[in-house]
Each structure stands twice: as structure tokens, then as C-alpha cells.
A and B are shown apart, each in its own frame.
Chain A
């Protein structure tokens, strides 16, 4: 069986040139076979002399393995580890410490280091540690690939399902419209109720399609400089009828043009979701205030309502998929539970976020911040999908 050759990038952070050269001499000829995953790992070595340089390198090209000496000029290895480590990342850190200083090794492990090497170490000890690390990297690459495939299948399934559901729903809606024109009395009420439930189902399907398109990166994004002000006014038009029926005032505070490099469709999804929520969850004769403005390099949209508000517990889970706040006051409000999770995902796509401030019984304010969207690198769509995968429980 032939093994696939896989390159592992190793970044050595040490101010002792001798050590860097030694690592190179040992690792460059080394091949680690991981037959159970059909892989053969080889190492590409880069070296830097300080923590500061390491940080710069990490932002340019993230290595798979970081061989990090604790004793460095300037920032120490532990300080650096403290700054770079996050549970989501796949970077393996091997800490190099002096024998006398096992305490450092223990603290490094606590900070998330994968392994450590005590100085002075032999070539065999280095090979041993790197064999273990290479197997780990190959395994986690395989896992990531499988997860991406699983996600893709889930998206395709949802997308096919949603498309197949749209046609029959449209047909039923057509019959309902005809019945609505011809019926009277109690039956008319039933038809109206059926149409409303049908509308809710359609909204769920469209939300699902939005979500899967955004998450899978299958939606073609058109990032260009657009003025968000007219889009927000358009979103107000969309909710105007519902607001009027319940005598809710919808007010806008927009200082003038609010330009942003963005996809107009994505902006509409954000605006429509927030405004329709602000009307839906408001009290009759309440008020909705939407403020849109540019703050330096970012745009912020605040949507304030005088609605039922949220408890701290409700706020905690509000942005998750399929979460709907269920209580007596929301029992008759239709929704898919997808709107806010989509808003948050989109905001993150623009390097921003969506958050909520709220007082139960008084009202809520949703704040979305957005930075200029950057046209994606060739692997951009995949990366966007991947970054969601890193935090599925958000």
C-alpha cells in the first residue's frame, strides 16, 4: 500500500542558533509513517529567534507544530504560549525546557502545550516527540476532513429537503388564497389561520436555505461598496404592515449614507430578521428604534424594542440554532428559531458580532457590528465554513 506524503510545518522558536540547526539536521531527513491513516509525514522546518517574531510568523503561516523554548530574549515561552493558545486551534506546542525546571513543563502543559522536551535532549528524544506529534497532526487532519464532509452532507440534505418542500407549499398556498376569496364565516377564519401557519412553514424553509447557503459557503457572495441606509429603509417597509396593524411605531436614526463593503442580500437578511423580531416580540402600541451609524472602521446597527424583553438565561441561548424563547407571551408568535443564529453567523463573517441587551418586561436592544467584508481568498468559502464548525455551539 502506498502512503500519501504529508508535509508538517514546524516552527522552531529559539535564540540559540545551534539548537535550531540541530533540530533541522534531525528532522529534515525524518519520515514518520502513520500506516493506519495511509500517511507518511515529512517535516518542513522554519526557525525564529524570539517570541515577537514567532507571533508575526503565526499570522503569516500557521505551523502544525511549534517547538518553543521557554528561555527567550524578551517575551518568555510561557508568556507566548499564554497569548497564542486557544482550545479551538490545531497548533501543537512542544515546550523546550531545562531539566532543572520541570515546573515550567507542568505550567506549559496546563497552558495547553502538547508535550515537552527537556534540555539537553538527544536526537532520538526529539524524533520520539515528533513521531507522536506527527501522528496526532495526521489524525486531526483526517478528523477535520471527515467533519467537513459530514457538514457538507448535512447542508446538501437540508438544501434538497427545503427545495422539495417549497413546491408543494406554494401549491397549498395558492389553494388557500382562492378559498380565502370565496369563503366566509367561521371557515374564513380557519383558512386565515391555515395560511398563517403555512407562512410560518415557508419562513422556516427560507431561513433553512439561507442558513445552509451561508454555512456551506455555497452562496456566492457579492462584496461591493454599498449604502446600507436604503436597505434598512427597505427592511422597515417589509415590517410596516405588521407594525401598523398593532400600532407599533417604527423609527429610524440614520445620519446619512452608511457605506460598507458588503453583500446586499446578507445585509437584508440581518435587517429583516432584527426588525421583524422587534415588531413580533413588541407590545401593541410599542416602539421600535433602529439606529445605523459608522464608528470608525465599523458599522453598527442597534434595534431597540419595547417588547417582552429577555431574562439572563434566555439571553444566553438566544443566538443558537432552533432556539425559540417559549413562554406564555411568545406562545402565539410564529418563528423558525433560525433568524438570530443566522444574523450572528453573518455578523461574524464581517468580523463583527451580534449581541443583545435586555430587561425582561421592558424591552431588548440588539446590536450588530460589521466591518468591511474582505473578498475571500481562493479557499475562502471553505474557510468560512470551517470557522463556523469550530464553534457549533455558539
Chain B
């Protein structure tokens, strides 16, 4: 599932993930994201940190992790470029602080994002142990 308020980013990543064989749902904001999350059960979420309101991304990632702690989240953010704040670094601390499993700075290349998605999904399968989905 892709959550971002930039429609171009959504369309481009959706198109490329679908071409790579993924089933993709999208939401262009937190409100729609909550509805979609209730109706579908994605295996992984890619979301933007800053959507409309400054803290929309953080609030949403916290909510998702409370309801479904096992659902991996990748936070994609241009926040350093836009505000000069720095939590673009993919460090354990910023991941914990943002309640996500991976942090990637915008602009992001598709293969980079795909690599992160594959990595997290593989880890997920590994944790599921023998007999889990492969």
C-alpha cells in the first residue's frame, strides 16, 4: 500500500510496482489511508512523512503499528530538503521515533524503494518461520 499526497509519486510508484508483479492500493492522505487499511490488509506500507499537516505521517504510522505491530512500514520523506530538519537518516533511533521499519529520503529511485520492500518482506517471511509464506 502506498500513501502519499503527491499524486505523481503515487501513480509512478504504483505503475512500477504493478509492473514488477505486486498488487498495489494507494491513498492520497491519512483519511483515505485509514479507510483503505480497514478494507484491505496490505503486507507492507510505503508512506510519506509530511502530508498536508506536519505530523500526519507520524500520527498515522503510530496508529498502524498500534493496530498491527507486524505490518512493516517504509517512510519516504523529503523532510530534510523541505525543512532542514534531519530525520532522513535511516538510523535505529529515527526508525523508532517514527514508528517505522525503514526510512528513505526523497527523491527516491524505484529500484531503491523496491529493494527496501523486498528486504522487509523477506525478513517478514523469515520471522514467520518454516511453513510460512515463501
Q: Please give the residue numbers on chain A whose beta carbons come within 8 Å of chain B beta carbons, in ascending order.
A: 170-171, 174-175, 177-178, 182
Contacts and interface: CB of A to CB of B under 8 A. Distances in A.
Given A177-B110, A178-B12, A182-B19, 10 more contacts: A170-B107, A171-B6, A171-B8, A171-B9, A171-B12, A174-B8, A174-B9, A174-B12, A175-B12, A178-B16
B8 A175 contact: yes
B80 interface: no
Interface of B: 6, 8-9, 12, 15-16, 19, 107, 110
A174 B9 CA distance: 8
Contacts of A171: 6, 8-9, 12
Contacts of B110: 177
14 contacts: A170-B107, A171-B6, A171-B9, A171-B12, A174-B8, A174-B9, A174-B12, A175-B8, A175-B12, A177-B110, A178-B12, A178-B15, A178-B16, A182-B19
A174 B110 CA distance: 9
Contacts of B12: 171, 174-175, 178
Nearest to A171: B8
A379 B8 CA distance: 43
A36 B8 CA distance: 56
Instruction: Give the most central of B6, B8, B9, B16: most A CB within 10 Å.
Output: B8
A229 to B, nearest CB: 29
A301 B107 CA distance: 33
B5 to A, nearest CB: 12
Nearest to B11: A175
Contacts of A177: 110
B40 to A, nearest CB: 24
A124 to B, nearest CB: 60
A217 B6 CA distance: 32
A178 B16 CA distance: 7
A170 B106 CA distance: 11
Contacts of B9: 171, 174
A177 B19 CA distance: 14
Nearest to A167: B6
A170 B9 CA distance: 10
A343 B131 CA distance: 63
A182 B15 CA distance: 11
Contacts of B19: 182
Nearest to A175: B12
A183 to B, nearest CB: 13
What 10 pairs across the A-B complex have the smallest Cβ distances? Answer: A171-B8, A174-B12, A178-B15, A170-B107, A178-B12, A178-B16, A175-B12, A174-B8, A175-B8, A174-B9
Nearest to B12: A174
